[in-house]
């Protein structure tokens, strides 16, 4: 990747402005608000130069940004009284997926989310957000609890993929994902899925069947990672130019998926991306999530289930001769 292609280089002026804002807010001196507003305008101006030309590769970089908000931060910002529940009651607890119940705007919701981990230690503990079969089975257990008590489900997606390990294969990674896919079509409560960062293939889809599938503007969702695709189709994952080509071919952006009817909604991100202004991001997500749930809560269950299936039933592009 050349310097100018690298989003992490491109965004430097924005991060500097963001740092200035944080300093001013921390100092809390008189006239701070006006200064902050001015700096925010600067960020918008800088972003207006970058945003229209964002390449798929740069979207991937934003989606994987080490400062990007993760599931637990969304839960903390949007919900109250989150009670995390652990374990699949079969084998173990999977820290790559957080799951439990919380209040969201006056209603109980079941919430599951893939959690990458911020520090090196946490990343290792959470297996970088790559789930094992027990994670998918824990999610399913929480889904069934939600159905039993009639609570809607919120599913936050952020993973590079299901974990490709020896033991995950022994314990039936494929079966765990498959059963979730089938069962999520039958759950008699509203399901809203939101891709907040990386939508990594079957590992993401395993908690991704919903009445509303939403994506943050700069998240991505793909059948395979650009690196994986480059390794298989071009036999080369070390050459950034090849990975870039793979990313372009895969059409992994939110707008690509909306155009094909594979997702329902794109949630805009603040200038610079979600990590530049997490508070603003949470606010927009909060609004979209509440609206989506309200719409679904007003719907007869049978109708909701039929529409859920009908939407996926149509996902295919082909010709019949």
CA-only gyration radius of the chain, Å: 20
**Contact status, residue 254 vs residue 217, Cβ threshold 8 Å:** yes
Shortest Cβ 94–another protein spacing (Å): 16
Q: How far is CA 121 from CA 64, 99, 195, in A?
A: 18, 20, 24
Shortest Cβ 121–another protein spacing (Å): 20
Q: Which residue's CB is nearer to another protein, number 27 or number 317?
A: 317
Binding site for another protein (CB under 8 A): 162-166, 168-175, 177-179, 181-183, 185-186, 201-202, 205-206, 208-209, 221-224, 228-229, 232-234, 249-252, 256-257, 260, 262, 309, 312-313, 315-321
Shortest Cβ 254–another protein spacing (Å): 10
Shortest Cβ 257–another protein spacing (Å): 6
**Contact status, residue 113 vs residue 71, Cβ threshold 8 Å:** yes
Q: Which residue's CB is nearer to another protein, number 35 or number 171?
A: 171
User: Partners of 15 in the beta sheet?
Assistant: none
For 165-194, b/e burial (b = at least 16 CB within 10 A) is: eeebeebebeebbebbbeebeebebbbbbb
Q: Which residue's CB is nearer to another protein, number 52 or number 316?
A: 316
Q: With H, G, I as helix, E, B as strand and everything else as coil, classify residue 136.
A: helix
Q: Which residue's CB is nearer to another protein, number 48 or number 259?
A: 259
Shortest Cβ 250–another protein spacing (Å): 5
**Contact status, residue 163 vs residue 173, Cβ threshold 8 Å:** yes
Q: Which residue's CB is nearer to another protein, number 17 or number 243?
A: 243
Shortest Cβ 314–another protein spacing (Å): 8
Which stretch of DSSP H or E encloses residue 168?
A: helix 166-170
Q: Which residue's CB is nearer to another protein, number 169 or number 297?
A: 169
């Amino acid at each position: 990747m050349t310097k100018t292609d690298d989003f992490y280089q491109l965004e430097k002026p924005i991060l500097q402005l963001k740092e200035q804002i944080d300093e001013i807010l921390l100092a809390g001196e008189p006239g701070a608000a006006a200064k902050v507003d001015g700096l925010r305008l600067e960020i918008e101006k800088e972003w207006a130069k970058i945003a229209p030309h964002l390449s798929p590769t740069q979207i991937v970089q934003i989606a994987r940004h080490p400062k990007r908000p993760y599931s637990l931060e969304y839960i903390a910002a949007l919900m109250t009284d989150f009670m995390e529940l652990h374990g699949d009651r079969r084998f173990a607890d999977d820290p790559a997926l957080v799951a439990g119940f919380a209040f969201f705007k006056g209603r109980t919701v079941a919430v599951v989310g893939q959690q990458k981990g911020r520090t090196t230690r946490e990343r290792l503990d959470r297996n970088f957000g790559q789930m094992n079969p027990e994670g998918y089975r824990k999610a399913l257990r929480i889904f069934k609890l939600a159905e039993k008590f009639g609570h809607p489900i919120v599913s936050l997606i952020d993973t590079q993929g299901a974990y490709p390990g020896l033991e995950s294969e022994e314990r039936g990674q494929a079966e765990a994902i498959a059963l979730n896919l089938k069962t999520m079509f039958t759950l008699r409560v509203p399901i809203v899925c939101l891709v907040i960062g990386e939508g990594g293939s079957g590992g993401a889809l395993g908690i991704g069947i919903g009445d509303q599938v939403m994506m943050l503007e700069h998240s991505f969702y793909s059948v395979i990672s650009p690196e994986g695709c480059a390794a298989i189709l071009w036999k080369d994952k070390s050459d950034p130019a090849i990975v870039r080509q793979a990313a372009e071919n895969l059409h992994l952006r939110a707008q690509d998926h909306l155009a094909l009817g594979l997702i329902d909604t794109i949630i805009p991100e603040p200038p610079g991306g979600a990590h530049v202004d997490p508070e603003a991001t949470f606010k927009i997500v909060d609004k979209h999530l509440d609206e989506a749930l309200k719409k679904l809560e007003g719907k007869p269950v049978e109708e909701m289930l039929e529409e859920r299936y009908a939407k996926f039933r149509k996902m295919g592009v082909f010709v019949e001769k």
